[in-house]
Amino acid sequence: MHRYILKRLLSAIPVLLLVSIAAFVLIQLVPGDAAAIIAGADASNDEVEFVRQQLGLDRPWPLRLQDWLVGLTHGDLGYSYILNRPVTEAIIERLPVTLSLAGLSIIFATVMGVALGVLAAVFHRSWIDAIAMTVALFGVSVPNFWFGLVAILIFAVGLGWFPPGGYVSPTESFTGWLQAMALPALTLGTASMGQISRFSRSVMLEQLGQDYVRTARAKGLSQNNVIGRHALKNAMIPILTVIGISFSLTMAGAIIVESVFSLNGLGRLMLHGIQRRDYPVLQGGMLFVAFSFVLINLLVDILYSWLDPRVRYD
């Protein structure tokens, strides 16, 4: 299995390289004078020239590409003149917020999603199935920002159970953190939960019809064992793929949800970057997202091989 992990790690490197180059190229495509834009709308001509020098924007592009790539290996994602700090620093500062949000929402989506899907499959065509799938359908159809606003209206303002926004660090107050993250995580995770539960249902149904399930029953194993161990373990393999895909939804949704709940995370950073045309932030941020994406896919692949012995021994 270790060989498999190594292989996957190695194959991730060219992808990371490609993504880095793509990020570089993307910014070159922006119309207008890059130095002027980066310096900001109210920069003087001198300041613009300063920026041009500093960023080496007057140098030929192969050298600039090299600078960029070399900078990356040191963790240097560029400098934002609008924020007046290195992009890397800005990102790291906001990372805990986004990680909390994304992490909790994925846990919610996975646990609820698989549970609903399995229930729907086991109680195929009963009212349990109907309710579970209706919930899933609603989850997939509701716009997350609207859901968040409605949730704030009802649970934060109306009932006062949760704060209407803002982040509380878990080191400050663990319960405060959970309370602050509850509504945002729920909002962000709903769409993924819907997707995962729909898929889990069809996968479980397929597995329950397989021969090995009949064998397990023929051995006199309990229903819990047959469904929860035998069938579920096989079902989790394709479900894992969908969980991996739902990371996409989660990352995209995070931008929206952070905005709705006034959470100072990576998403909000990107949003402000768009609104203020802060290209270094956008470039660095996009790259960071792409990197984490590649890494998450890698993780999913490794988990895959852990679950499915047939992949391991290839």
Partner 1 sequence: MSQEQPLLDVSDLTIALKIGGKSINIVDGVSFRMNAGDRLGVVGESGSGKSMISLALMGLLPDVMQLEAGSIRFQGEALESASPARMRQIRGRDISMVFQEPATALNPVFTTGSQVSEVLREHEAISAREARDRTIELFRQVGIPAPERRITDYPHQMSGGMRQRVMIAMALACRPKLLIADEPTTALDATIQEQIIDLLAELQDETGVSVMLISHDLPLVADFAERIMVMYAGRVAETAQAETIFDTSQHPYTRGLIACAQGLELGAARLPTIEGQVPSPVQFPAGCRFATRCPHAVAQCDGVIPQLHPIGPDGHVAACHRIDELKTLEIAS
Partner 2 sequence: MTETTAFRSFSAKLSTKLSTAHWPLLIGGVIFALIVAAAILGPFLTPYGPEDTSLMDRFQGPSWAHPFGTDSFGRDILSRVLHGGHVSLGIGLAVIVISAGLGILIGAAAGYFPKLDNPIMRVMDAGEAFPTLLMAIALAAVLGPGIVNVILALGIAYAPRTARIVRASILVLSQQQFVEAARASGAGPVRIIALHLLPNAMAPVVVQMTFIFADAVLAEAALSFIGVGPPPPAPTWGNIIADGRTYLYSASWITMFPGLAIFLTVLSLNLMGDGLRDLLDPRLKKVT
Residues at the interface with partner 1 (CB under 8 A) = 210-212, 214-222, 225, 230, 233-234, 237, 307-310, 313
Give the C-alpha separation, 41 to 276, whole Å.
Answer: 9
Residue 248, contacted partner among partner 2, partner 1, none, CB below 5-8 A by kind: partner 2
Residue 293, contacted partner among partner 1, partner 2, none, CB below 5-8 A by kind: partner 2
Residue 110, contacted partner among partner 2, partner 1, none, CB below 5-8 A by kind: none
Residue 135, contacted partner among partner 1, partner 2, none, CB below 5-8 A by kind: none
Contact, 242 vs 93, CB < 8 A?
no
Which pairs count as long-range contacts for 143-148, CB under 8 Å and 24+ apart, including other chains? Answer: 144/187, 144/188, 144/190, 144/191, 144/253, 144/256, 144/257, 145/256, 145/257, 145/259, 145/260, 147/187, 147/190, 148/183, 148/184, 148/187, 148/256, 148/257, 148/260, 148/261
Identity of the residue, 90 or 102, whose beta carbon is nearer to partner 2 in the bound complex: 102
Residue 241, contacted partner among partner 2, partner 1, none, CB below 5-8 A by kind: none
Nearest to 253 by CA among 164, 162, 189, 193: 189
φ/ψ (deg, to 5) at 86: -65, 145
| Nearest-approach distance from CB 256 to partner 2, in angstroms | 5
| Nearest-approach distance from CB 192 to partner 1, in angstroms | 25
The token pair that represents 256 in the structure block: 């929206």
Give the contact letters, 221-260, x = binds to partner 2 (CB under 8 A), - = no. Answer: ------------------------x--xx-xxx-xx--xx
Kindly tell me which residue out of 12, 293, 305, 311 binds partner 2, with binding defined by CB under 8 A. 293
Sole residue written with tokens 């878990």? 170
Q: Which residues pair with 80 in a beta bridge?
A: 85
The token pair that represents 263 in the structure block: 């959470």
Q: How many CB atoms lie within 10 A of CB 295?
A: 13
3-state helix, strand, coil in the chain (%, to 5): 80, 0, 20
Q: Which residues pair with 85 in a beta bridge?
A: 80
Binders of partner 2 among residues 94 to 123 (CB under 8 A) are: none
Total residues contacting partner 2 by CB under 8 A comes to: 40
Residue 313, contacted partner among partner 1, partner 2, none, CB below 5-8 A by kind: partner 1
Q: Is 270 among the residues that bind partner 2 (CB under 8 A)? A: yes
| Nearest-approach distance from CB 279 to partner 2, in angstroms | 9
Q: Is 204 among the residues that bind partner 2 (CB under 8 A)? A: no
In angstroms, what CA-CA distances link 83 with 90, 102, 277?
A: 8, 25, 11
Judged by the rule CB under 8 A, the positions of this chain that interact with partner 2 are 26, 29-30, 137-138, 140-146, 149-150, 152-153, 157, 202, 245, 248-249, 251-253, 255-256, 259-260, 270-271, 273-275, 277, 282, 286, 289-290, 293, 297
